[in-house]
A and B are shown apart, each in its own frame.
Chain A
Amino acid sequence: MNMQTETGEFIAKKYEPKGPVVLDCYVKNIYYGDFRAVRDTTIPVEKNKVTGFIGPSGCGKSTVLRSMNRMNDLIDSFRFEGHIQYHDHDIYSKKVDAVIVRRYIGMVFQLPNPFSMSIYDNVAFGLRLNGYKGDEEEMVVKALKRAAIWNDVKDKLKNSGLSLSGGQQQRLCIARAIATEPDVLLMDEPCSALDPIATRQIEELMVELKQHYSVALVTHNMQQAMRVADVTAFLGVDISNGGRTGYLVEMDDTKKIFEDPQQLLTKQYVRGEFS
């Protein structure tokens, strides 16, 4: 039996996490001004797993992901209803500074966005920000190696990060994000601007990353979700009443979502009947 809100809107069956939850995300509503972008979406991000977000364009998967480290605070009209518990602390609590949230919950963006500074300084940026006292160079090299870009840049660490190709820039951004070993890593379609080889490398990286962290991954590419995500959330778009509101349709183990989805909408989507 499907659950419904008082107004008769569909609510997805709750996904029961099998392990400890790092980021317990419950979105009642997300508004941009008067526009209701997302409603009734509950997504627990489990520790040491990759949680994938899939769904058609405009379903709000990026919006939900960006709410998880309060990146949406940069947008004035943004309004969040609900709560996101990070180790039992609500990151949207009035007492919590968004800056601190973003230090523990790192992010990799859709388009590569290295800073106008040297490759080395790009990676060291977060370490310096967090006042890291140890061997900075060692951490930078480690991050570059893990982001599978060390061999490309080891001879030109002093060059500008912007002198690299698009795929290299994105891996540099990943190195920048993981250099400070954030507890949770949010990735917003990190491979959408990459060629297949770079994509492969980054997917391998994600699988490796989850040994240490928890990863939330938005992807437009269903094969990618199948390859790397342990758990997958499928979001749909509700266009009734002239709106365009995203909501969670189904969340389950990735295998189950792709092989035996319970909702018709999920079934149609994973079969590629709409996108």
Chain B
Amino acid sequence: MVHDPFKDSASGNTLSAPPSPTDYMKDSIFRSFAYFCALSIILLVAYIVFELGSQALPAIKDHGLGFITGTTWDTNQNEFGVLPEIWGTLYSSLLALLIGGGLGVAIAIFLTQGFMHAKVEVMFRTIIELLAAIPSVVYGLWGIYVLIPLIRPAAHWLHETFGWFPLFSTDLSGPGLAPAALVLAIMILPTVAAISADAFRRIPYKVKEAAYGMGATKWEVILKVMLPTASSGILAGLVLGFGRALGETMALAMLIGNVNDISVSLFAPANTLASLLASTFPEAGQIEIQALMYASLVLLLITFVVNVAGLAVQQYTMRKFEGKK
């Protein structure tokens, strides 16, 4: 029986009644289920890390930190190093973040700040969300057959004219960092645009009103008020987009050239961790698989660090701009 001390003292004709035992039971069942779900996520992550770690253990013992600083990947000599892949992963993702992030935020502003009619806006939004639905292998094919031929003349010209500049120091021979980063930028663009647009839409109307009420022009309203107000949401979008770029595999394996070189040139072929894993696994022997497991641990660690750092920056902007603890 449910303990109800008020029943007797309340006026006789009240309809108030305590929750029934079944109500309480549903409550506790739902609570246990929620706890279970939350816990299983933590367990799953822990299990993945543990499994990867134990499979990679022989490689970790063999190569130690030299794995991270080494620059050759040679199965015959049992020499494994992923520095070029780490470099390629971070370089291509940062480039993609620069291009795709900038474009994504610009699109979000364009979509939400009253530049067009509501119906046109819905159409635009659908098209941008469609970008996210295109499989990455299709992006890869498009990159090979459309993008690379398209940017080759420009790349060639840049190399010929500004060859002394490190970014253009090599010619684009086919696959390379530039086409890979451009395709990555397009792939993360919908994520950044959608999340940033949500952040802009969440800004209460009264804030926009206040900005216009001060006599700000449209540009000033967007740049000085809306952008800082939406900044924590925009950052969340950028972090998610960057995370996606770090882990993107198929399109990159097709476009980046899979060459273990470290070069700042935009047109040089390179390699990324994810693309290394995808292209090496099918033919790998046992020793190499252990090394690949080690490489995937490194990728996991990079993604983790990026996410935590992103979260920290986001918390900081929230505290600074929105006064939240």
Contacts and interface: CB of A to CB of B under 8 A. Distances in A.
Contact of A106 (B213, B228, B321, B324): B213
Given A115-B211, A160-B321, A162-B323, A129 B206 contact: no
B179 to A, nearest CB: 39
Given A129-B220, A160-B321, A111 B213 contact: no
A126 B215 contact: yes
Given A115-B228, A116-B229, A161 B323 contact: yes
Task: Bin chain A's interface residue count.
Answer: 20 to 34
A116 B318 CA distance: 9
B214 A116 contact: no
Interface string A76-102: 000000000000000000000001111
A99 B209 contact: no
Contacts of A113: 204, 206-207, 209-210
A210 interface: no
A113 to B, nearest CB: 4
B43 interface: no
B7 interface: no
Task: Bin chain B's interface residue count.
Answer: 20 to 34
Interface in B166-209: 204, 206-209
A114 B322 CA distance: 10
Nearest to A101: B215
Given A99-B217, A103-B215, A129-B215, A116 B321 contact: yes
Contact of B212 (A100, A102, A111, A161): A102
Interface centre among B215, B217, B231 (most CB of A within 10 A): B215
Nearest to B229: A116
Interface of B: 204, 206-217, 220, 224-225, 228-229, 231, 319-324
Given A117-B321, A159-B323, A162-B322, A109 B209 contact: yes
Nearest to B203: A116
A102 B225 contact: no
Given A113-B209, A116-B229, A160 B323 contact: yes
A14 B231 CA distance: 51
Contacts of A116: 207, 225, 228-229, 231, 321-322
Interface string A161-178: 111100000000100110
B212 A109 contact: no
15 contacts: A74-B208, A104-B215, A106-B213, A106-B214, A111-B206, A113-B209, A113-B210, A115-B210, A115-B228, A116-B225, A160-B321, A160-B322, A162-B323, A163-B323, A173-B210
A125 interface: yes
Contacts of A103: 214-215
A111 B210 CA distance: 10
Interface in A120-149: 125-126, 129-130
Contacts of B206: 109, 111, 113
Contacts of B324: 162
10 shortest interchain CB distances as A-B pairs: A163-B323, A160-B323, A103-B215, A102-B215, A116-B321, A113-B210, A113-B206, A116-B229, A162-B323, A107-B213
Nearest to B118: A76
A61 B320 CA distance: 37
A232 interface: no
B228 A71 contact: no
Nearest to B230: A116
B264 to A, nearest CB: 37
